[in-house]
Chain A
Amino acid sequence: MSCWGPRWSADSCRSPHHEYIALLYLLLLKGTCTAFAGLASLPVIHDTLVTQHGVLTEQQLNQAVVITRSSPGPVGLYIVSVGYFVAGIPGAIAGWLAMVTPAVMIIPLVHFSGRHINHLRVRSVLQVVVIASAGLLLAASIPLAREALTDPVTIAIAFVSLIILLTTGLDTLWIILASAAISLSASSVGLIARLG
C-alpha cells in the first residue's frame, strides 16, 4: 500500500488514519464536484494528488483510466481506483463517496426543474465550464503521455488508438485489449527492446 505523502510515510506504511482518509475524500470531491463528466475531473485530480501531494504517480493515474475503461460501469469509477492506489480499501471507499456525493445534487435540480435550468446565463456558465474542462483534459493527457509513451510501439499504439477512437464507434474495451495484446506480442519477440 502506498503511503500518504511525506507526513505519513516517514517511518512506515501504517493503516491510514481517519483524518487522512477524510482529507483524501475532500481532495477527490474537489475533483468530482468541479467536473461535468467522468474523466473531466482528471486534471484536478492530477494537480492535487500527483503534482501537489505526490501520493499518486502518473502511471497509477493512467492505470486507473485503463481499469475503469476495461470494467463495466461509469468512467467516473476511476476515482475509486485512484483512492485504492493512494490508501488501499479505505481510500477506495473515500473514492466511492467522492464519486456518489455530487450525484445527490440532481434532486434539487429535478425538484425545481424548469425554473432556472433553462436560463440563458446559467446555460452559458455551464457551457464555458464544460469547454474549459475539455481543454484541461487535453492538457492533462500530456504528462500522462510523457509517462506512458516510452518507445515506438507504445507511441504507435496511442496514435492508432486515437485515430480509431475518433473515426469509429468501437468500444474502448476492445481497443484496450488489442493494445495489451500488441504490447505483449511485441515484448515477447523483443521488438520493444530493439526499437527502444
Chain B
Amino acid sequence: MTDLSHSAATRTERPSLTEIADVFARYGNFTLGGGSATSAVIHGQIVTRRHWVNDQQFTLCFALGRLTPGTNVLAFCTGIGWVLRGLPGALVALLAASIPCTVIVIAVTALFREWQGNAIAQAAIHGAVAAAVAITAKTSWTIAGPVYRSGARLRVVLIGAAAFGLYVVLGVPAIYVLLGAALVGGFLPVPPP
C-alpha cells in the first residue's frame, strides 16, 4: 500500500465529513467548463487554501481519476475523499459532488420536455442541438489529443480509424469494439512514454 492513503493526510489538516461535504458540494457542482475546470477549483480549495492534501496526493488522485471508468471528476473526488477520511470520506465526497448537479440537470431536462410544444423554445433548442453535434465530434479529439504525440501518431490514427470503421461500416456494437480494443492493447507494442 502506498503512503498516499488516508493515514498520510495526518500530515496535513484532516477535515470532518461535514467539511468534506461542504467543499465538494460547493465546488464540485457549480463550476462550468467540465471536469478539468472543477478539478482546478477544488485544487485551490483543498491544496492551496485548506491544506487538506498535498500536491502529490492531489496529482495521484487526478491521474487515477483519468484511468477510472466513468466520469473522471467524480472518481477524482471519491479518491480525494478516501485519502482524507477513508471509505466514509469517499462516499461523502462522491455524494456531495454529484447530487446537487444531478438535481439541476433533472430540473433542466424536465423544462426541455415541457418546452416541446413551445415554438420559440423549440427554435432555440434546434440551434443548441446543432452545436451539440459539434461538441460531440470535438470531444473525440479532446479524448485522443493527449495521446496524439510524436512517435504515436500512426498508432492513434490506425486504432481510431479501425474503431470508427468497425462501428460505422461493419456495424459492430460499441461495447465489442471497446472489448476488442482492450484485447488488442494487450498485444500491441508498448507506446513510447
Q: Which residues of A contact B (CB under 8 A)?
A: 30, 32-44, 46-47, 59, 62-77, 80-81, 84-85, 89, 92, 96, 99-107, 109-114, 117, 120-121, 123-142, 144-145, 148-149, 153-155, 157-159, 161-162, 165-166, 171-173, 175-184, 186-188, 192
* A187: B residues at CB distance < 8 A: 123, 126
A120-B190, A166-B141, A180-B124 in contact; A131/B132 too (CB < 8 A)? Answer: no
* A106: B residues at CB distance < 8 A: 61, 64-65, 68, 75-76, 78-79, 82
> For the complex, what is the distance from the CA of A66 to the CA of B125, rounded to whole Å?
8
Whether the pair B2, A136 counts as a contact (CB closer than 8 A) is: no
Whether the pair A130, B144 counts as a contact (CB closer than 8 A) is: yes
> For the complex, what is the distance from the CA of A176 to the CA of B75, rounded to whole Å?
27
> For the complex, what is the distance from the CA of A178 to the CA of B55, rounded to whole Å?
38
Q: Interface majority SS on A: helix, strand, loop or mixed?
A: helix
Residues of B in contact with A, size category: 35 or more
Whether the pair B185, A67 counts as a contact (CB closer than 8 A) is: no
Q: Interface majority SS on B: helix, strand, loop or mixed?
A: helix
User: Chain A: which residue is nearest B145 at the CB level?
Assistant: A134
> For the complex, what is the distance from the CA of A126 to the CA of B167, rounded to whole Å?
19
* B35: A residues at CB distance < 8 A: 38, 74-75
Whether the pair B4, A113 counts as a contact (CB closer than 8 A) is: yes
Q: Of A47, A67, A120, A175, which is in contact with the most chain B CB atoms at under 10 Å from its CB? A: A67
A36-B69, A100-B94, A184-B123 in contact; A72/B182 too (CB < 8 A)? Answer: no
User: Chain A: which residue is nearest B29 at the CB level?
Assistant: A73
A130-B147, A181-B124 in contact; A157/B71 too (CB < 8 A)? Answer: no
> For the complex, what is the distance from the CA of A184 to the CA of B4, rounded to whole Å?
52
User: Chain A: which residue is nearest B112 at the CB level?
Assistant: A63
Q: Does B31 contact A (CB under 8 A)?
A: yes
User: Chain B: which residue is nearest A79 at the CB level?
Assistant: B71
* B156: A residues at CB distance < 8 A: 131
B118 to chain A, nearest CB (A): 12
Whether the pair A67, B70 counts as a contact (CB closer than 8 A) is: no
* B79: A residues at CB distance < 8 A: 106-107, 109-110
* A84: B residues at CB distance < 8 A: 105-106, 109-110, 113
1/0 contact string of B162-193 vs chain A (CB within 8 Å): 11100110000111011111101110111100
* A73: B residues at CB distance < 8 A: 28-31, 38, 98, 100-102, 104-105
* B143: A residues at CB distance < 8 A: 36-37, 40, 130, 133-134, 137
1/0 contact string of B29-70 vs chain A (CB within 8 Å): 111111100100000000000000000000011001111111
> For the complex, what is the distance from the CA of A131 to the CA of B139, rounded to whole Å?
12
A168 to chain B, nearest CB (A): 11
A84-B109, A92-B102, A110-B83 in contact; A99/B64 too (CB < 8 A)? Answer: no
Whether the pair A162, B181 counts as a contact (CB closer than 8 A) is: no
A27 to chain B, nearest CB (A): 11
Cβ contact of A125, chosen from B136, B168, B182, cutoff 8 A: B182
> For the complex, what is the distance from the CA of A81 to the CA of B106, rounded to whole Å?
6
B96 to chain A, nearest CB (A): 11
A60 to chain B, nearest CB (A): 9
Whether the pair A135, B160 counts as a contact (CB closer than 8 A) is: yes
